[in-house]
Amino acid sequence: MKAVVGETVVAEAASETVISIEGNAYFPPDSVAAGTLRESSTPYTCPWKGRAQYHDVVVGEMTLRDAA
């Protein structure tokens, strides 16, 4: 399975290692391309998943805010 922005693969992993919950794909951390994620200033607390931190996806000059 791949996560792609434009023509850039930002994450790639075997389908059985990607978790799908409510339409969202959760890739293993080591499957994410180096330099494509930057911690955003948006924290999040989910009642059943707990505390999380959003990340921006950065590809070239494009930044997708809180996309990961």
Does 2 have pLDDT greater than 90? yes
The percent of residues above 90 in pLDDT, for the chain, comes to 84
**Cβ pair 7, 62 in contact under 8 A:** no
> What does the pLDDT average to over 32-39?
96
Number of domain units in the chain = 1
Output the pLDDT for position 22: 85
The residue range of the domain holding 55 is 2-64
- Type of residue at 66: D
Please give the Cα distance from 41 to 22 (Å, whole number). Answer: 24
Q: What is the pLDDT confidence band of residue 17, given thresholds at 50, 70 and 90?
A: very high
Does 49 have pLDDT greater than 90? no
